[in-house]
Chains A and B, each alone.
Chain A
């Protein structure tokens, strides 16, 4: 290699070291990729199996040895499961969407309003209440579960969507307030000072300046809320009793209770339920991940 140019020993040594370092770095890179690929396969495998199983025949699932990909693809599992007797998946999907639509405006508007108050206004008790908001994140929900159930029972709200919707209109969740407040603190104060000189009220500043500027954070809040309601199980389980009012999560649970062995149908419905969230995640991963990070990291 050094036959042509005959570099001085020190330079040669240097380039050898450099090469060794580069080789070592490549080995390191290879290891990182190898580990990442193995890890991704392990993490993705359950979901791949879920989809693969949803296309298999009932016999194939229960035969030995197990297959990985379906021997025979059965897309008909989907319509069969979706319209199975005694189930009402269209209704349950609609119910879930109603709860999401009823909740979202409350979450976005009130969490942003409160976040603005905590981030940008001066008044006595502000720190105390913000501290209480943060402390409520730590509170295990078991403690309020039973009295809330009794409260909703006394209000006659059991087996309605109200217990799942109304509380969201009161600040929209401590984590969301925290997330938006973090965002508002980064907006330069000069903006609202200039607006105040121009005679704007806080309400105008919030609505005209902070809401538009915080669109990325509001997207995060929206997506996290959709994800949370779509996936919620405990709330609907406790408050919704008649099958007509079930959400998708409850419906899937009832379905598996009826046909505990029909893993082909269960996986088909599971796939249908996961799919919208997967699409949302792939297209808006940045906002969702950012939401988890900002609402989490500094709590």
Chain B
């Protein structure tokens, strides 16, 4: 670990070994304690609760895997909320990544005035979820909302955005794309790291801008795309506040997100054991998908230098 000392023999530790170790742990102590108290401890507790019937008022009662069995065999809302969340995640992934990438390409052109445009596009990230949820609930309003006002103004039919089970989920996707400027920020940063010479070389070889985008930009950007896909996916599975505020899961449970389901089970019905089991199911699903994403990433993500810094 430290610089090369005599190998084999008895590994002689530096005289400062213990002092360094104690000092090191004093420095990282806060986060070590934090992880134990606020993360790993609760995870163990949560795993235990998920095997119990626990309603807070009385002590947890061990019931084995009954919660998990009930989830998969009895609970229709569980399946529904899982399906809503997965459909949302897929839609927001495709639409969000494409829109963000296109905006980022525009924003990384070297033209005057670009910083003002960046401010415009980045601004939605500072809007609190409560405010953006209430704002978009008003924008989407069927009767007096500005979006329908615009649509009828140009002769198109009104859409019952949040009021119809067919469009409610997609309406939330549109809103999420608007609030998702962090993805754009990270794409812009990624685009700026692509060496200019590569584009110039491709230009000399006669590549037009579309070809350069697909054969230079996309491969060079693939680590950034991969990062945004993984974090965007995990974030999509945390989606909660807008569904809670704008639709309350409706209409006809069409926006009944998984986290809304957990929230209601835990904090309205106080079924802590059951809700913990739900949390573990989604945790395992997220882990599996993340691992799959990492697995298939070897095929398309291009890292210029494989060594870490």
Contact = CB atoms under 8 A, between A and B. Distances in A.
A binds B: yes
B204 interface: no
Interface string A37-67: 0011001101101100100000001111110
24 contacts: A36-B106, A39-B117, A46-B178, A47-B123, A64-B144, A65-B152, A65-B153, A66-B149, A117-B28, A122-B1, A123-B23, A138-B234, A141-B238, A143-B43, A146-B279, A151-B42, A167-B38, A171-B35, A238-B267, A253-B130, A278-B126, A285-B118, A285-B119, A299-B227
Given A46-B139, A62-B144, A143-B42, A289 B122 contact: yes
A293 B189 contact: yes
Contact of B28 (A118, A144, A274): A118
Interface string A145-157: 1111111010000
Given A110-B30, A145-B266, A256-B134, A47 B24 contact: no
B122 A274 contact: no
B129 A231 contact: yes
A62 B145 CA distance: 9
Interface of B: 1-2, 20-21, 23-25, 27-35, 37-39, 41-43, 45-46, 49, 56, 103, 106-107, 109, 111, 117-132, 134-136, 138-139, 144-146, 149, 152-153, 178, 182, 185-186, 189-190, 209, 224, 227, 231, 234, 237-238, 240-241, 245, 259, 262, 266-267, 272, 275-276, 278-280, 282-283, 286, 290, 309
Contacts of B276: 146-147
A256 B34 CA distance: 36
B144 A121 contact: no
Interface string A254-275: 0010000001001100100110
A61 B138 CA distance: 10
A163 B150 CA distance: 45
Contacts of B120: 40, 43-44
Contacts of A277: 126-128
Given A252-B131, A292-B185, A297-B189, A147 B25 contact: no
A235 B279 CA distance: 17
Nearest to B60: A150
Contact of B45 (A33, A61, A123, A147): A147
Interface of A: 28-29, 32-33, 35-36, 39-40, 43-44, 46-47, 49-50, 53, 61-66, 68, 110-111, 113-114, 116-118, 121-126, 129, 132-133, 136, 138-151, 153, 167, 169-172, 174, 177, 185, 202, 206, 227, 230-231, 233-234, 238, 249, 252-253, 256, 263, 266-267, 270, 273-274, 277-278, 280-282, 285, 288-289, 292-293, 296-297, 299
B130 A142 contact: no
B123 A281 contact: yes
A233 B136 CA distance: 17
Nearest to A252: B130
A143 B259 CA distance: 11
Which applies to chain A's interface (DSSP): helix, strand, loop or mixed? Answer: helix
Contacts of B20: 121-123
Given A117-B28, A122-B20, A289-B122, A170 B37 contact: yes
Contacts of B262: 142, 145
Contacts of B145: 66
A140 B27 contact: no
A111 B153 CA distance: 53
Contacts of A118: 28
A292 B184 CA distance: 11
Contacts of B119: 281-282, 285
B34 A170 contact: yes
B130 A170 contact: no
Given A39-B103, A47-B124, 7 more contacts: A32-B111, A114-B27, A136-B35, A151-B45, A202-B23, A274-B126, A282-B119
Contacts of A274: 126-128, 131
A121 B106 contact: no
B144 A227 contact: no
B190 A117 contact: no
B86 to A, nearest CB: 14
* The 9 A-B residue pairs with the shortest CB-CB distance in the complex, in nearest-first order: A170-B34, A171-B31, A117-B27, A123-B24, A66-B149, A147-B42, A231-B128, A147-B45, A110-B30
